[in-house]
Amino acid sequence: MIFSICLAFPGAEWPVLNNRSKNGTTDRVLFGILTSAMHMTWVKYVCGRLESRFRYSNTIVYNNFPFPENVNDKQKQKVKTLAQAVLDTWAKYPDSSLADLYDPLTMPPDLVKAHQGLDKAVNLCYRPQPFTNELNRIEYLFSLYEALTAPLLQAEKPKKRKSRAGQSPA
């Protein structure tokens, strides 16, 4: 089953998130990552909720998402091509809303296939081994997050007080 937040790519202006946040880019690689199973897993575990709906926040979800590092040009091109395939599939259904397209009971098979290809390409940007399930993905993402934030959380070691002769340190 494909899980997706409402992320549109209207025209060539900018992707829009469900709270109308703009990220200021038309980058198909970014669009591909944000619509991938990897990012959707992060959303499910980190995103806030408004009733039963997700409340996507650029400061909590997007800014803290561990994007893949050291992605080579071939990988970027693959993600870009497959992200475009998702957009092209959307275009085949001009009378359907994103909610209609992502309904788990009626999602078009060609859209499922487009996302599966995109997911595989994004996964390979993170590591060559496949992710076997959602738990495997979120454990990996949190390990990346921990590695990225650890330098920010290192506490200063308390300075040792010099003791005066004959007195023990307090």
pLDDT of 110 over the 70 cut: yes
The DSSP 8-state label assigned to residue 50 in this structure reads E
pLDDT of 154 over the 50 cut: yes
- Of 2, 122, 1, the closest CA to residue 65 belongs to 122
pTM of the model: 0.77
- Report the interhelical angle of 109-126 vs 37-46 (nearest 10°): 80
Angle at 41 (CA atoms; ends 3, 26), nearest 5 degrees: 75
Helix ranges (DSSP H) in the chain: 28-34, 37-46, 73-91, 98-101, 109-126, 134-153
What is the rounded radius of gyration, in angstroms, for the C-alpha atoms of the chain?
A: 21
pLDDT of the residue at 75: 97
CA distances (Å), origin 114, targets 16, 68, 87 = 20, 20, 9
Taking only the tens place, the pLDDT of each residue in 15-70 is: 444 444 444 446 899 999 999 999 999 999 988 777 877 777 777 888 899 999 99
Residue 125 three-state SS: helix
* Residue 8 to residue 14: CA distance in whole angstroms: 8
